[in-house]
Structure 1
Amino acid sequence: MEKNKLNGMNQVDPNIRDEMLAELFLDQMLNNFKKSKIFEEIDQSLKNKDKETFFRLTEELKSVS
């Protein structure tokens, strides 16, 4: 079954395949960047002992993950 999926991907126009891979890559990089920023803000909220912000950010992190 896996071979069928791989064979199907090989039949996709190379330009479309490259575009799809680039989009997936950019989405992943953007997601990683958002997570990184949220982690920085979580660290800051811990330093400031700001529970409200901490809980809000951890919920936001769940939606990004």
Structure 2
Amino acid sequence: MENNVLNEMNQVDPNLRDEMLAELFLDQMMNDFKRSKIVEKIDQFLKNKDKEAFLRLTEKLKFIS
């Protein structure tokens, strides 16, 4: 599967390929950042024993890819 993706990427125009890879990288970085911020808030809500906020954020965390 991964080899097929890599082979297809090699057939794409180099400029377009670089743009696509940069976009994937930025998307991943944004998701990582969002995830870390949510985890920080979850930790705060655990310390404050705020069950509703904890449950809301853990649910939100599940949907970040």
Q: TM-score, normalised by structure 2?
A: 0.89
Residue 24 of structure 1 aligns to which amino acid in structure 2?
L
Please tell me whether Structure 1 or Structure 2 has the larger radius of gyration of its CA atoms: 1
Instruction: Please list the CA deviations of residues 14-57 of structure 1 after superposition, one character each: whole Å capped at 9, or x if unmatched.
Output: 00000000000000000000000000000000010000000000
Alignment correspondent of 1:6: 6
Alignment correspondent of 1:49: 49
Deviation at 1:10, TM superposition (A): 1.1
Q: For 1:2 and 1:62, how far apart are their aligned partners in 2?
A: 25
Q: For 1:10 and 1:37, how far apart are their aligned partners in 2?
A: 36
C-alpha root-mean-square deviation of aligned residues, in Å? 1.7
Uncovered stretches (5+) of structure 1, i.e. residues with no partner: none
Cα gap change, 1:2 to 1:29, in 2 (>3 Å)? closer
The runs of 4+ residues in structure 1 deviating greater than 2 Å are 1-8
SS in structure 1 of the partner of residue 25 of structure 2: helix
Matches of residues 1-40 of structure 1 in structure 2 within 5 Å? 3-40=3-40
Q: TM-score, normalised by structure 1?
A: 0.89
Uncovered stretches (5+) of structure 2, i.e. residues with no partner: none
